[in-house]
Chains A and B, each alone.
Chain A
Amino acid sequence: MERVSTELVKRPHVENFIRWAKDRPEVVVLSADLTNSCEVGQWRDTYPDRFFSMGMAEQNMMGVAAGMAREGLVPFIHTFSVFIYRRAYDQLAMSIAYPNLKVRFFGFLPGIVTPGGVTHQAIEDVAIMRAVPNMTILETGDATEVESVLDASHGVDGPCYVRFLRGEMPRLFPQSEPMEIGKARVLSSGSDVAILTAGITTEEAMRASDYLARQGIAVRHLHISTHKPFDDPQVLAAVQECEHGVVTLENHLITGGLGTAVSELMTDHGIGKRLIRLGLNDTYAHGASLPYLLDEYGLDAKALVAAVGTLMGRELKVTDADIAATRQDSAASDAKAEAL
């Protein structure tokens, strides 16, 4: 497995999005009273005539974005994920997705990255969005993906939902390797167990990789950045070729998200292997720090190691010290909590 730098990057979206939008006059931003919280305050100040404050009125914001898209603008909605798919679902589906309009939904605070509690934690967004025809779904896992998702998604001539990261984040992947739609990153190429992760859980899995290697277990670890369409042949190959089974680890409910997508893929192809889905299991979370919640709900490196052990028929007694020994400097727990 290629080791990557452990550089920490602060707010990569701020400057990058301003640069990217400079020569794209069709790009406009809509915000529902979460402008600085979604890191577009400086964008607003740079391009005031292309920034539209919508207030706390998400249903109307969806329709406005639809109307703008019909006239050839490309609206980039910036708000918290929960307010996109929970609060304005009918508008999202009928005003934007049905007519296949080119609108970007930049959804902040995916899963349990926020201490803001259940009202702010988007734990079923991928499940909901996967059920929306015409929708493309992407997820960012580091600074490189936050930067390159703009280019990656721009070619999609239809609605695109992005699970977005903000604040301080690691750069796990080299800048020379931007996100590509429909293409997983192969982070290790063993054939004992396939591990599929997305978003912040990739870093957790990377924390466990050295430990697993020391145990003599060869994993094939794929980082998924495209949830829909879910047709990457590398993913199919990984689940076909692994000897002992598959583990998915997602910052989301295990219902309807990555684990479900993998189970559907395996069923469709008649792959009769065990699949262990790690993630929130039919539960809401609550307001607490990310490391605390990762541990509480079994979404961390330790839970992943235990699941791999289950598939291998071995009891892997991993301790915090084992993981800490391989812990990267870029641990998300070091990132300062963002204002809500």
Chain B
Amino acid sequence: MQVLFKTRYEDDIRFLPKTGEKIRVGLVVAFLLAAPLLLQDYYLGELGLLLVYAIAGIGLMILTGHTGQVSFGHAAFLGIGAYCHAILMSHGVPFSLSVVLTTALSGLIGMALGRSASKMHGFYLAIATLAFLMLVETLLGEWESMTGGYGGLAVPGLKVFGISLASAWQQYYLDLFFTFVVVLGAANLFRTPTGRSFLAVRDSELSARCLGVNVEWAKIQAFGISAAITGLAGVLLAHHLAYLAPDVFSVLESLKLMLMIVVGGLGSIPGAIFGAILVSLLPVALSFLKDVLPPALGQQAGLEPLLFGLIIVIFIVFEPQGIYGRWMKLRFFFETFPYYRKSSFVRQKSYLKTERMR
């Protein structure tokens, strides 16, 4: 077990204070950078898609995991991002400008949604965001002159600063670049007042308010940042799909994002990434299952949503902290070996809470 000696205030601000963490994250980064050398184009594309979902997951994580505002409407922001980017690109707007404009638009729509949802909690918020998703999905389908309607919309080829990025590895590095930006930015957020105000709103709106946190504004900000990041993921997703249709951005897609962060572990950035890995591996596992299961079962439609639902339920019942929580326990087990006890992570008696003044 490594004991940290902190000698400067900077020690608390630094990321990854422990050597072991540094090595692990370094290995992952090295693998990601070297992936084009190691993987075939198909798997590289899948890995790129995984990164896109990780970005979207971090977007939702900031809102739901860190600020405690549930949203079943995040597929809408993926859709807004993808469509807005595709439309701008097809009108000749360069990639770099289009990314900025799309992210900003998505963020602004997120803030507007946050403004109207800032007084809502839990169940009502879930319904409101779901309604928002329905609205956007319908809009994408019906606004034919702009979005191509249900017939779909072709996404122009990927071109950054006039250079065409047609190869799989070029697109992959673009995904990777934005993943780094988002992970770093999100991690930054939680060592500054903005991120702390989000956590404060999640854990106790009452005392957050009394300490000077403008709770409504914090929620609007969280919605905005979250939507902007998800919109950015939508931009990258558009290039992976190459052809957009409104039904891609449906409730099921929202559910997938929700599955990612719940199973990954709410309230942690690595959790969103673990979740993205799981969601990307699921179809692989599913195709494997289809071969193994008897045809009557394996060929059944709706196996994927069933599996999604089942996994969410299993995690909520047995490991509410998600994969990340399980990982922390595993690490703690090795770090403190042989002193780990089953009760090490059992919550202490919880104390009375003031009746929430809602």
Partners in one complex: no
